[in-house]
A and B are shown apart, each in its own frame.
Chain A
């Protein structure tokens, strides 16, 4: 009952926020609303018992991507260009898509129905086998980094690709550098945010590390950990200024982290092949079958965390650096 009421409120707010994002002509407002949208989404996921997804959405959707959006806004200004004509075609496409989606839900199994196909086929096997084969309680981690680790490798490469794209686009210096403005010095003149922020950073990073290494037992894992550690590092750069942030982690190092994490993941996969198993087979990594799975999962999760941290920090610096050159 309480869940239903909460769900109803959250979904209503989601719709309201989504409409507001589309309608507002001010991009700064839109970015703030997108952040709220992600937070509401995270709450919805949590309500649906998807704690891992909720954590990711909160860390990346509401946290890190908002910072990146603001970095982009600093470059392009906050006012949306006026549309010349009414967007009838997009509206029609959206209407048709929505209609089809609603049509598809008419025969959708009821939410939480234990006899729904998703609870009958593969899922029970995962629930049953995970403690036995992997020796861990968080089935999400077991599926993500174990049974379907190949998908997760793909996702890490998606993140690496996105980071490479940002670096490639910003590698080209603007032709005109005459209007060079002084480097962003952060909030050094604002004592209270600076002191409080600096106090928070160790706890943010520690929480990230906890998520990284406790992912087998409770919600968390490399994605969430990487995002949260990145937020801590970015917070430092925001407080102390972009050059200070870059001094501790230059682009060279960040690219090394981005590529290194992905390489670690691939390397574990190839090690499985060299040791006589298939690609991403953890079984040959150690003599004890459960221990081998845990070792493999630990290693690839570290790879995920490193790549995510490197990519997010590199993307932040790319935007912040560009602003300085504008």
Chain B
């Protein structure tokens, strides 16, 4: 096989193969260096795959040389290539940019385990999006979830421990529900390959187990994705984990669960079950609207910067689900491109938080008074990320909101109400972002206000992320093309 043909396996094998090595590299900087190199290499693989997947329906790869459904198939579509870009891009940017922050937060004795877990998280998440096999997705869900719990608990903040325990219990319930669903489908179809499942569900006469499976799979994945009201694990898990970890997981982990949710509900269930679309929309659309409104409202009154951004993330998951539950090509495009754009905005914002944390002991809003005088560059980049989060024209966030509004308008009378929801929630975002801006720029700092910026590498990466928000706001070609072709592929299954 040529190198190009090996790319789907390399996307998973590079981070996973590097992980055990990282655990053996001792307490110095070597584990970090290996994690960074492997991340960048995976990012390069993801870029090559995105180019390769853009022109074709799907790139199929038989692991071990055994053809599906007997062996496990990797299946790279434009959708999975987009997710691979988000995962490896976020990991590379955070690892390269925030070494100072990680050094401060992760004790020396923990470093080899921590960076091995980081690579396992990257490899696990990549494994999920690369896979075309329902059980294989579960296996890599276990790898990535366990590794993520370790990352969250890896810092020095002991508040992370109860938060991660809650996440662990909820995440395990979610994964178990998914597994029960897959088991029920296997019972009725005898296959684990997603494409084969889709083909065989149509021939199943007794549908009760399949219907229960739809419920279990959708609910389990919604729980892992933090879809309202199953988001209760998210705010504290994001808030108390090491700042670099927050930037990484906020950019990609919920999106990967959403990817599996969409892939399952559209590719497996949509075409083969009558009225599945109606149920899917009827169940998820109200939850999405609630997520957008309730989570934004909570963020408006939240007093801790990281929890504020975490609540905003719950609202953003709502936007993605909202787009998908419109069941139109435009809606799906908007939802999927928002996965990318929100990863950019939240990645930049949490990188800014990591920078702030190098100089401020507490990230409660009250303690950040006058932060912009002390760290003008950090806060300016924060402002750029915040504009993208709100959806101001010229930033990446605008692109997805614009597509979402257009998609909602196409759905007729109900669409006007949805547009109202989007506009109201954007105003709410203005409000909660303004609270941060007001505190940082217009409040008088408590102590001396000398200029004291974050380390240069962190600032450089932060600005790279912030400028990426502007770049993809003006040149949204690549993510839009991938999202559109992903949406077209998903809509092919809708009856």
Contacts and interface: CB of A to CB of B under 8 A. Distances in A.
B20 A160 contact: yes
B266 interface: no
A25 B317 CA distance: 40
Contact of A164 (B23, B64, B70, B140): B23
Interface string B12-25: 11001101110110
A121 B191 contact: yes
A266 B16 contact: yes
A120 B136 CA distance: 21
A101 B58 CA distance: 35
Nearest to A93: B173
Contact of B24 (A148, A259, A280): A259
B35 to A, nearest CB: 13
- Where chain B touches its partner, the secondary structure class is helix
Interface string A140-161: 0000001111110111011011
A14 interface: no
B70 A122 contact: yes
A238 interface: no
Interface in A149-184: 149-151, 153-155, 157-158, 160-162, 164-165, 167-169, 171-172
B62 A158 contact: no
Contact of B63 (A108, A167, A279): A279
B69 A122 contact: yes
B398 interface: no
A163 B330 CA distance: 45
Interface of B: 1, 6, 9, 12-13, 16-17, 19-21, 23-24, 61-66, 69-72, 107, 109-110, 112-114, 116-117, 120, 123-124, 127, 135-136, 139-140, 142-143, 146-147, 149-150, 153-154, 180, 184, 186-192, 200, 204, 206-209, 211-213, 215-216
A300 to B, nearest CB: 10
Contacts of B208: 103-104, 106-107
Given A118-B186, A161-B120, A168-B117, A273 B6 contact: yes
23 contacts: A107-B206, A117-B187, A121-B191, A121-B200, A125-B70, A149-B63, A149-B64, A150-B63, A153-B16, A154-B142, A157-B120, A157-B123, A158-B142, A165-B113, A165-B149, A168-B113, A168-B154, A172-B109, A259-B24, A267-B17, A270-B13, A272-B65, A273-B1
A263 B147 CA distance: 17
A223 interface: no
Contacts of A100: 212, 215-216
A125 B66 CA distance: 12
Nearest to A262: B20
A171 B117 CA distance: 14
A278 B180 contact: no
Nearest to A172: B107
Given A171-B110, A269-B13, A148 B150 contact: no
Contacts of B70: 122, 125-126, 129, 147
Contacts of A126: 70
Contacts of B139: 151, 154-155, 158
Contacts of A148: 71-72
A45 to B, nearest CB: 15
Given A104-B184, A281-B65, A147 B20 contact: no
Contacts of A107: 206-209
A105 B209 contact: yes
Given A100-B216, A259-B21, A283-B65, A161 B6 contact: no
Given A119-B190, A258-B23, A279 B146 contact: no
